Structures are given as structure tokens and as C-alpha cells.
Structure 1
């Protein structure tokens, strides 16, 4: 926005509030940052993307490759050679080694690189459709644009998505067991180590619902009282996408990112949810006007009784992190859930193929999703080590 609160570029605003409007807040925020990275780069190089596409000039292969090189580096990284100009280094080989090392240190993850170039491709495609979709364009320009998009897509596919450069220790846990147990203990409302003066029951439910169901922060924030099945087995919670929720007054409306499913929590936690609804939440007048489970209990801004914001959930975890001496955020509990899920599945002897199908359902992924590989790699690495050591031991015995 400019000083008059008007969009600097209406095409960018239309793109963010059009094709991306149905995405979750976190996804929209990430996509916006990716697009901002591209726009800032081309603005600094005096390239106006909407104007280029409107005129049918687009960007050249050279201009794209220069952008790709920039995408590989951290936002704050400068020209690798500029950092060594103050030194008098006569050995050209040594100077090249220093430059190469600086570039390596500044490289971003494959996932970040893929996101940046994918956002450029998506924005260019959208602009092309706005300017030329209904009116057509000459064959030569259309072919040039198709070659450019094909090049970007090829680079995008070669990034490998979540397959980063880092090789993590297979014994490492996203949250060490001792830290996880301490987390569960200090968030109990009756714990003498509880770091919260108020809203203890609500904050306990935030942590324990995430830890025991494996759902995302957005799904938690949009949970309604009616989503809890306080009947039958008394352990089921409905998780689903709801689109634009008219009763939600929050500016940043949370939502479930993946498909609908039932999450399971134990009866004790279910009873605690019921207690919170009947004896704490009911005391706030504004809570009567909506069905969302978690509410603000602080009235400093007149928000008591209103649905709890995503930022407030983050604040809860920031305070917990300070007490634990270990940085923890909501999504880490989803990873921890998967670690525990693997151990329990192996303990009871569930068939590995069935285990992955169960995981996909519990996480809300479609059956053809490959997201389970992110959580499955650690278990496979442990099995690979076990079999490799067994093979080597057998050879040692033969010797």
C-alpha cells in the first residue's frame, strides 16, 4: 500500500485476493512473501512484470536466469565478491575459493528456492491470462511465453521440494522426549511449574489437543463446540475445511489445510474440553455469539470472549519455550505425533503399508499424497542402519 492506503500495484492485489483467497492464512502469507521477493528483485532491476506481460515482451531467458541465481541466496546476502574487496588478495585461486565459500553459506533450502520460482511462474501465468486470455496473442509471442514457463517449471521440478541439503541424525527427535514430557507436565493447570497466571485450562487444552491429535494450529483455532462428539465413544473430533466463516470476526481467519477426517483424543481430555466449555468459557458474555471453542480471556482490548487469534496461540508457545529453554512452535507437535505414531505402530505390529494409509487419514492427506515421506524417512533410515549392521556383523562372524 502507498501513503494514501491504495494498492501500489492493482494486479498484485487482485492476484493475492483472487486465486489465493481460498488458501489458509499461513499459506497466503508464505505465497505473499515469495511474490514480494520476486517483485522487489525485478523492481530493483527496473522491470515491471505486468507491463512486460501486457506488451507481450515478458522477460528474457537471461533475465530469468539472473533472477534464478538471486533466488538461490538468502534475502540479506550481497554480491559474494563485495565482501572481500577490502582485502588485498593476489592469489586468484584463493580469492575464488573465498567467493565460492561465501555463496555456499548464503544458499537457501531447496523448498525456499522452489517456492520463489513457482510463485513467479504462477504470477506470470495469471498475468498472461488477464491480458491475453480473452483477446488472444500472436503465435510467436505465445510460443516465447510457453518456452519461458517451461524453463521455469523445469527448474522448479529439479528443486526436489522438501528434499533439502541437510542430512539429519536419525536418532534426533524434533522434540526430545524429556522436553516433551516436561511440556505436558508444566501445562497442566495444577502444575506448580505452570508459567501462566491466567487462562491455564485453555492453554492446557491448546497444547494437549495439538499433541494428542496431530492437527495443525489453524485447525485447532477453528474448532467449534459442535465439532466435539460428546456422545458414543466420547473420543472423536471433526476436522474439516469450512471456507469463509461468516460468524468468525477474526481478521486472519484460521482454517483446516487438508481434507476432512476424524481426530481421536482420549476420554480424559474430552472431559476437560467439556469442563472448559461449561465452567470457564460460559462466563464470557461474547462467547455466546459464536461457537468457536477457544476464546480470549484477556479484556485489555475488549476482546474477552471473542475467538482466540492465531497470534495468541503463538504467544502461548513463546512463553512455554522460554520456560523450557527449548524453542517450540505448534507444528513441532504434529511432527512429534508422527514420531510417536511410528513407534506405536511398530510396537503393535501394524503392517507398514497399512500404517502409512492410517497416517494419511489421521493427517488429513489424500491417499495419493507423498507428504508421508517427510515423516517416514526417519523410520526407513533406522531400518536401513539396522539391516546394514546385521549384514556387516554376519560378515565379521564368517571372518
Structure 2
């Protein structure tokens, strides 16, 4: 039997909000770390909360320090302990753990404490104290991601290598070559997430209107994958060039529909390799294998992955908007729709930061060039 309150928290508090599977898995890992902390210090928070006792300051501090430690597996894979090695997790990991734990302990205390006003105030103070003890996180990782530049020439070379029939193609089966080349093109042209790509169904492609629809399908009964890829962001319709739609049609009619079992579901990309999984929707592991092969196709470009293509799409979109004279406000709204974000999330501005940096650098260099030109002119006179 699963632990009651963590199961209740995940089922009601997280699943009820339609959060992504990976988000829930990460939360469960954070709760495992919290239970390891309880075991290490012989603390039973459920009993404590039932008696009306909340965590004290020194306990919050010990929780903070303990969340720096990496989990280790024991007893046939059940995580029951924390590594005693001096190695620590990243501050980002520690921050995420404590964020989940603060939310969970607030939820747990709300379930177990008496509904008095003073009790509610105490819960709020405890949650705030846990959050206040989270490590400071810098935006260094975000900056490094922005600096990972994907040149169009590199992507063009990759597309040529993935071209069906190419001698440099990393796979040999022609149908798989067609599928992989199509997946890469869709990721590059649309900026879709990995989960959105693997969640596509044939019916999501309007072959008459040349559009692709991103649809959320949490817990789809027709999906036999253990870890079902889902659309993490909002549903939207994405226009496609007729050439790309023709390629999708060609893959479906000439290759996908000939794979045994593929017609039993509507998912666009399927497993072609003979075996028990043949004809099933392409799994995350299968897609990961494709991306792994892609990294070794071009020497020196191991940083290429699905999300880097999404970054590149946003960068290219910014350049196009600049050429067309689209206002920043209008650009942000269009980008938010095409990427499936809320207009108030601020994510659109984050993805545009690299382009803003380039514009700033260009302006600074123009000022310097003007200064040195004036100085040279003055010296000549």
C-alpha cells in the first residue's frame, strides 16, 4: 500500500491540477528525501501535526541542510536513505525539493491540525520559514542556455544528414529515416516540445487547411506507453507549409500505415522495429535514442536536443518579427500563442533575451565605432 498522505497529496493536489507526469515524479522524489530526513532524525511529522505541534526553527534548518544530500537506492531500488558521501546536489535541486516539501507540509498540517485561526497562522509561518531557507538560485543556468547558439548552417547540415537515403544517415531502415527526418523538421519549424511531438495524432493534422493542432490528452486510454508524453502547455493551432504537410501525408500513407498494429491507435509517430513494441506509439526512450544518435552525427555539436531546437525557433522568430517591423508587445502575444504560454507568464520575454542581447551589443559597437571615427577625424585635422 502506498503512503496515505503523499498519495492523497499527489492525487488531489497535483493530479487534480493536470500537472505533467515529470512534475509529479520530481515532487515524489522530493517527498522521498523528506521521509529520509524524518527517518534519520526520528521525526514523525504526521504524529506531530496531529498533536498540534509544527516544525521548530532548528528542525527547519536541519531539513534545509539535509536536502543538500543526494538520494541513494537500497532494498531493490526503494529509496530509503541519503548518501553519506560529501557530494551534494545542486542548489537548483535543493531549492526544488524544499519548495515541494513546504507545499506538502502545509497541505499535511492543514489536514491534521484543528481548524483554529491560530493553527492556520502557525501553518503559514512554518511554510514561509521553510521557503525562506531555500538556497539562493542564480540565473546562471538560464544565461548559459541562452548562449547555446544553433546556427542555421549546422541545422541545415543535420537535415541533409537525416535526409532519407543519405549515406551519412545514422539509421539504415528507410521508413525510420523518413520518420526521423520528419520529426526533426517539425521540431525545427514549429518549436514543439518533445511531449507535444510524441502526443501528435494523425487527426491533429488538417491536410486541407495545412495546420497542426496541439491537443492535451492526459491519461489517454488509447496510449499504451508507461510514461505517456503530454502537451505541457496550452492547446493551439499551428500553420504549416504545404510541403511539410505533404511529407507528413507521405509518411502516414507509405510507411506508418504499413507497420503492423499502427492502425490500432491514431498517434502519428510509431515504432518500426520488429518486436513486441512494433506499431506502438514512439516512446520517450525511443525518441531519446533518436536524439542521442543525432548528437553524434555532427562532431562538436553534442548540445543539440529537442529543447535547443525550441530555443532556436524562438530566436529565429524574433529576427523575423524585427524584419517585419512587429512591435514588441504584438510579438510577445503571438509568441505566447504559438508556444502555448499564458500571455502573463513572462516566458515569452525569457526566450527573447538572447535576441535583445544581440541588439544591445550591436548598438554598443555602433556607438564605439562612431566614437573612434570622430577621434580619428579630429587627429587628422
Q: TM-score range by the shorter chain?
A: 0.7 to 0.9
Q: Alpha-carbon deviation of 1:394? A: 4.7
> Is residue 16 from structure 1 mapped to residue 10 from structure 2 by the alignment?
yes
Name which of 72, 90, 97 aligns with 1:108: 90
Equivalence for 2:79: none
Can you give the 5+ residue segments of structure 1 that lack an aligned partner in the other structure? Answer: 1-5, 84-101
Relative contact order, CA 8 A, sep 6+: which one is greater?
A: 1
More deviation in 287-296 or 28-37? Answer: 28-37
Cα separation, 2, equivalents of 1:169 and 1:196? 29
Alignment partner, residue 76 of structure 2:
none
What is the aligned residue count?
360
When normalised by structure 2's length, the TM-score is: 0.84
Shift of 1:395: 4.9
Distance 1:324 1:16 in 2: 42
Q: Is 1:151 aligned with 2:126?
A: no
- What's the offset of the Cα at 1:72? 5.7
> What RMSD over aligned residues (CA atoms) do the two structures have, in Å?
2.9
1:52 pairs with 2:30: no
Could you tell me how far 1:169 is from its partner in structure 2?
Answer: 9.4
Contact 2:270 2:278 in 1 (8 A): yes
| 1:131 matched to 2:134 | no
TM-score normalised per structure 1: 0.80
1:187 aligned onto 2:162: yes
In structure 2, how many angstroms separate the alpha carbons of the residues matched to 1:169 and 1:56?
A: 46
Counterpart in the other structure of 1:90: none
- Identify the range of structure 1 (175-184 vs 348-357) with the bigger mean alpha-carbon deviation: 175-184
The answer on 1:122 being equivalent to 2:116 is no
Deviation at 1:56, TM superposition (A): 2.6
Alignment of 1:330-369 (within 5 A): 330-369=306-345
CA distance in 1, matches of 2:152, 2:30: 35
- Aligned partner of 2:255 in structure 1 is 280
**In the alignment, what sits opposite 2:205?**
228
Instruction: Answer whether contact 1:342 1:379 (CA < 8 A) is retained.
Output: yes
For 1:240-259, list aligned pairs within 5 A.
240-259=215-234
Contact map agreement 1:261 1:364 (CA 8 A) in 2: yes
Equivalent in the alignment of 2:360 = 384
Distance 1:18 1:192 in 2: 52
Residue 142 in structure 1 maps to residue 120 in structure 2: yes
